[in-house]
Structure formats: structure tokens, C-alpha cells
Amino acid sequence: MRFPPSFLDEIRDRVPISTLIGTRVSFDRKKTNASKGDYWACCPFHGERTPSFHCEDRKGRYHCFGCGVTGDHFKFLTELEGLSFPEAVQRVADMAGVPMPARDPEAEKREAERATLHDVMDMAARFFEQQLQSAAGAKARAYLRDRSLSSATQQAFRLGYAPESRNALKEYLAGKGATREQIEACGLVYHGEDIAVSYDRFRDRVMFPIEDTRGRVVAFGGRALSPDAPAKYLNSPETELFHKGRMLYNALRARKACQPQGGEPAKPVIAVEGYMDVIALAQAGFAHVVAPLGTALTEDQLELLWRMSPEPVLCFDGDQAGIRAAHRAVDLGLPGLKPGRSLRFALLPEGKDPDDLVKAEGSQAFQAVLRDARPLADMLWARETSGGVFDTPERRAELEARLREITARIGDENVRRHYAQEMRDRAQQFFGQARQGGNRQGNNRNFGQGGYGQRGRGAAAGRLAVSESLARSSLVKSASSPSMPPLRETAILLILLNHPRLIDEDFEAMAALDPEHPQLRRLHMAMLDAMAEAHLQSGTEMREALRAAGHGELIETLEAIVRRARVWTATERAAEEDAREALRQAVHLHQRARILHKELRAVEAALMEDETGEVFGRLIDIQNEIRKAEATEALIEGFGIPSGRPVGGF
């Protein structure tokens, strides 16, 4: 009996190969990494004392490095247990809980027709490739040149061109023997009762063949070359071969690239938003990249990502639309979290996509974005607290209830428990809850159980949550020795050092900063002198000038302080726009704190001579103002993620 490949793929996907092989071998505990689906055992095909037999759930394959046997679920059963192929299929189907397909001549006929459709799609891909190299394809070649795609990259991804003629592809395929029904079934033409004569779906477009996980062309994406085209990007419709919500662009190449190669460890698969991003990143050396097919990420696509790697990185544009898409992905991923299976989120600089970034700044810029990817827990916390106001017990309770409801969506009990504890810890820190007797209150099943007790210095009765952009600015005061430079002043000066143009933007305000720490005061004056003498434009120039003035060792000390505090906006890697926003916040806090403390000292001095209620009332008012300012500052500063790195962190 011939089984449809789709049926074999389904039962293989439902049964991890380690589950099947585990019925016949004992896996070695030292070499096995179950969380990554990586298992080792002594080979059942030949006698050995040390485990050289390897099976990997992501690939659905096994291989013995001793005797060389290799195969999948069915080959394991046929070669080790002597089952026939249909018997092996029956065994795996039983384990998967999937009924065997009845022998169906019509189904077998459809399977043969599907194979013919694959042939038609491959012919179409070859036609588009030929057209790209023809005289008609000149403007398409110019477009690809402008996008900096090399000839080798174009060939690797089989890029092509659909000519402007309404019937060019249809006539070509008909000349090769394809029937009208086959061409229509592939979605290559517009047809229907209201269309007298079918015509090509793709015209005057750069063509991107879409392959399935076996490398067969099943659909196309087309990028319009005319600005008047009704749709910039056009995908094939849903067909028997193509279901866009269940596929990923570049999945086959990415899956191979994720595997350990040349002594390097496995790489996480990276999901970006579009075809050109995938291709540009592949050309820049990131072959392990995929993209959804014109839709938001689906559950099926997320499952495909998890089959490739246990912790995929979802890369989104840094604008509001990108952040909203990341938040949707958080909700999509929560139910599927398991031990060793999660997601990370990389946010690009606002206004840039991966293609723009690697062209402008090279592959190292995108690598830095990946290094700064945030765990799912960070994204969840940031989303639920960003922009909120938590100045009453009712509002704080509402936040906790919402966090409980969200974490309850996690399917795995252990992961759900750890997320509940993580959110509880963050809420307690966020609201300044004092821990009683050093107990983490890990047994409390509900957020906030035990109440909000005594608050420490810097905590506030009310909390103002901040925006995502403010959350990236961890400008805090140093809690270390008084001899150490305060972190807020340190951050301000390093921002100015790395972006001296910000000094020019408001020279008078920057000149009036007057840091309290003596070393910072001297560095501040040296920076102003350097700007006055040379009108420096870059952080490199400012750094060289300050080192020449003898401040090199101090700069290294200050940079170490911000690295430990994870104040990414104060580093030279921060974009000028982010640095400008962080500087504005920090300077405002700095000036406000100085004014309040100056007023406090004056009132305290007056109170020694005049203990009237009016003076005492003024003292209380100023103390309240200071507490509010400290609370706001602590919120802005303390929004950084204690268990991981913030966006753009270290």
C-alpha cells in the first residue's frame, strides 16, 4: 500500500523519534540533553560500551557514529525489528493516535496529481528565472541590484521576473504540456465564472519562489515594480499545495543552518517579517532566518519554529506596529511554553528593518540586535505595566489579577508555576513590598497575598508605569559607596561623551549641570572645553580628546559602572534618538532633585529658628515632593529587568 506523504509526515511529527527509540534503548543521562531533544545511547544495531548512537527530535532522525546506520522512524522499525514498511507505519500511527488511511484509489490518484502540480510549479519557477535574465527583466535586475543582492544570492533563492504580458506564463506552461486544470489548481492564473479567459496572476513583478520543507516550489510571492500596482506584494492563493498559515519562507535552508556545523553549536532560528529581510540576512551570513508568508505569525508556524530550535528569536521592527506584533506573539506563545521551550524577542532600531540595518551598518549591527534579544517574560511584564497608573490598591490588585490570568494560559504546569512566581516577584519589587523575614513568599499562590507591608525608602504609595521607550532608560542612582560616582550623573556624562552633538543642542543647559561628584565635575568641564575648542561631532573624537586630557582611566571606570547597571542608553551602542530621550529624562530628574534638596535644606535651617506650624507644614510638603520624585525616578530606573537584559542591553 502506498501511503500519502502528508500522512507519513503527520505521524512522524506527532511522535518524537526519541519516544520510539526509547522503547528499545536506555538513553545516556550524561550526554543526553532532553530539553533540546538531543539523545544519546549505546547503539542497538551493534555492540558497544560507550554511547555513539544519536537521535534528534528536531530532525526526526538517528545516526550511529560507530557503525554508520542512519534513518527515520520507519527505517528504525524495519531494520531493527524486521517489520515491513506498512507494519512500521501502522506502529507509528498507533503511537500517534492517528487512524490508518483506508485504501482509496481516488486518494492515490489525487496524490499522483499533486506530484504533477509540483512539476508545474517547478516549470513556472524556471520560467521566471529565465525571464529575469532576458531583456524584459532588465528593470527587475536593476531593482535587485539596488537592493544589493548578488547574482549568487539571486540564484540561491531562485529569484525571477514575471513579465507584463497577461498570458506569458500561461502560454509557456501550456507549451510544456500543462493542462488548464493544472495551471488553475496551482493558483498561477485568475479564473472563474466571471472571467471569460484566464490570465496570469503575476505580472511585472520580481518573483520569490516559496518552497515546502522538502524543497519543492509550492507557491510564489511577487513584488510589484510599478508604483501604480494595487498591491506591493502579492502571494499565491491557498491551493492544494500551499497553505500559507502552515508554512515559513526559507524553512528548509534555515532548518539545516540551525544545526551544529563545523564544531559550532546549534543556532536559534530567527523569524523576521518579509522575504527581502530573509534574503538580505542570508547574504550577510545569517542563513538560519525564516519569515511568515504575508500574515501575522500563526500557531502552526510557531510549532514549525519550535521544531527547528527550542528558543526561536522573533525579530520585529522597533516601531509601534512592531511592538504590537511582538505583543501578539507573546499571547500566541504562552500556551505552548514547556521546559526548555520558549521565545526571545529582538526589537530593531525604530525606522529600520533587517535589510536596512545590514546594508547601512553591516552584519555586526544585526548581531548586536540578536545579542540584546529579550526573554518572553520580559516582554510580558513590559506590556502589562507600560503606560499604566498604579497609584491605588485597587489598580495594583487589577494588575496582579491580570498577570494571574495571563500566566494561567501556560499549558505546562511547571512553567506556569515559575511564571507565576516570576510575575509575583516583579510585582513585589515594582510596588516596593518589604519581604517579611527574608521569605520570598514562594508559597503564596496569589500575587500580593500577604498584602503590601512596610515600604522601603524610595518606594511610593503610587506608581506611574512608563512607556516602552522610557522602560529602556535605566537611569538610577548608585547604591554603592559614596566615593563612587552617582550612576545618574555618570549616565548623563557618558551620554554626552558618546553623542557630543547633544551638548550643542542645548549648550547652556548642559554647561549648567554642575555634577556633585568631584571627578565628574572635572570631566564635565573637560568635555565643555573640548567642545568649545574643536566643536566635536562624534563620540570617538570626544573620547580621544578626553583621553589626551588624562581622563582615560576615569572613562573606563564610568563605562564599567553603566555596564554593571545595564544602562544601555549611556553606551556608545545606543542610537542618538534613544540617548536624547534618556538624557532629557535624566537631566530633568537631576535638576528637580537638586531644587528640592536645596529647598529642604533651607526649610530645615528655618525650622531651627521658627518652629511654627507653617514652617513645619512646608517641611512636610517638600518631603512629600521628594518622595514623589524619588518614586517616579525609582520607577523609571527600576523598570529594567532583573533576570535578563533590557532591550539594547549587555
pLDDT over threshold 70, residue 637: no
Q: Choose one of 464, 498, 531: the last residue of a domain.
A: 464
Q: Choose one of 186, 219, 242: the last residue of a domain.
A: 242
Look at the chain and report how many structural domains it folds into.
5
127-141, 319-333, 553-567, 627-641: range with highest mean pLDDT: 127-141
Mean pLDDT of 413-442: 71
CATH of the domain at 340: 3.40.1360.10
Mean pLDDT of 255-283: 86
Same domain, 484 and 613: yes
pLDDT given at position 111: 60
Q: What are the residues whose beta carbons fall under 8 Å from the beta carbon of 543, sequence distance 6 or more?
A: 497, 555
Please classify residue 4 by burial: count the beta carbons closer than 10 Å to its beta carbon, then call 0-12 exposed, 13-18 middle and 19+ buried. Answer: middle
pLDDT given at position 332: 95
Domain that holds residue 237: 106-242
pLDDT over threshold 90, residue 418: yes
Q: Please, are residues 324 and 318 in contact by the beta-carbon 8 Å criterion?
A: no
pLDDT given at position 120: 94
User: Binning pLDDT at 50, 70 and 90, where does residue 114 land?
Assistant: low
Q: Is residue 525, in this structure, part of any structural domain at all? A: yes
Mean pLDDT of 274-300: 91
pLDDT given at position 460: 36
Same domain, 110 and 215: yes
pLDDT given at position 218: 95
pLDDT given at position 115: 62
Same domain, 617 and 500: yes
pTM strictly above 0.85:
no
Same domain, 399 and 337: no
Q: Is residue 409, in this structure, part of any structural domain at all? A: yes
Q: What are the residues whose beta carbons fall under 8 Å from the beta carbon of 182, sequence distance 6 or more?
A: 113, 116, 117, 120, 173
pLDDT over threshold 80, residue 257: yes
Q: Is residue 384, in this structure, part of any structural domain at all? A: no
Give the pLDDT confidence of 47-105 residue by residue, as tens digits: 677 888 999 998 899 998 877 888 999 999 988 877 888 889 999 999 988 888 876 66
Same domain, 515 and 611: yes
pLDDT over threshold 60, residue 446: no
Q: What is the C-alpha to C-alpha distance for residues 487 and 538, in angstroms, rounded to an integer? A: 23
Q: What is the C-alpha to C-alpha distance for residues 551 and 623, in angstroms, rounded to an integer? A: 37
Q: Is residue 646, in this structure, part of any structural domain at all? A: no
Same domain, 285 and 204: no
Which stretch of 72-86, 93-107, 269-283, 556-570 has the lowest confidence by average pLDDT? 93-107
Same domain, 175 and 282: no
Q: Identify which of 114, 77, 95 has the alpha carbon closest to the alpha carbon of residue 10.
A: 95
How does 77-96 read in b/e, with b if 16+ C-beta sit within 10 Å?
Answer: bbeeeebeeeebbebbbebb
Q: Choose one of 439, 464, 489: the last residue of a domain.
A: 464
Same domain, 182 and 262: no
Same domain, 81 and 112: no
Q: Identify which of 147, 144, 123, 146 has the alpha carbon closest to the alpha carbon of residue 132.
A: 144
Give the pLDDT confidence of 497-526 residue by residue, as tens digits: 999 888 878 777 787 787 878 888 889 888
Query: What residues pair up with 70 in beta bridges, in sequence order?
Result: 63
Which stretch of 55-59, 313-317, 531-535 has the lowest confidence by average pLDDT? 531-535
Same domain, 86 and 205: no
Pick the residue with more confidence: 475 or 191? 191
Same domain, 237 and 272: no
User: Binning pLDDT at 50, 70 and 90, where does residue 439 land?
Assistant: very low
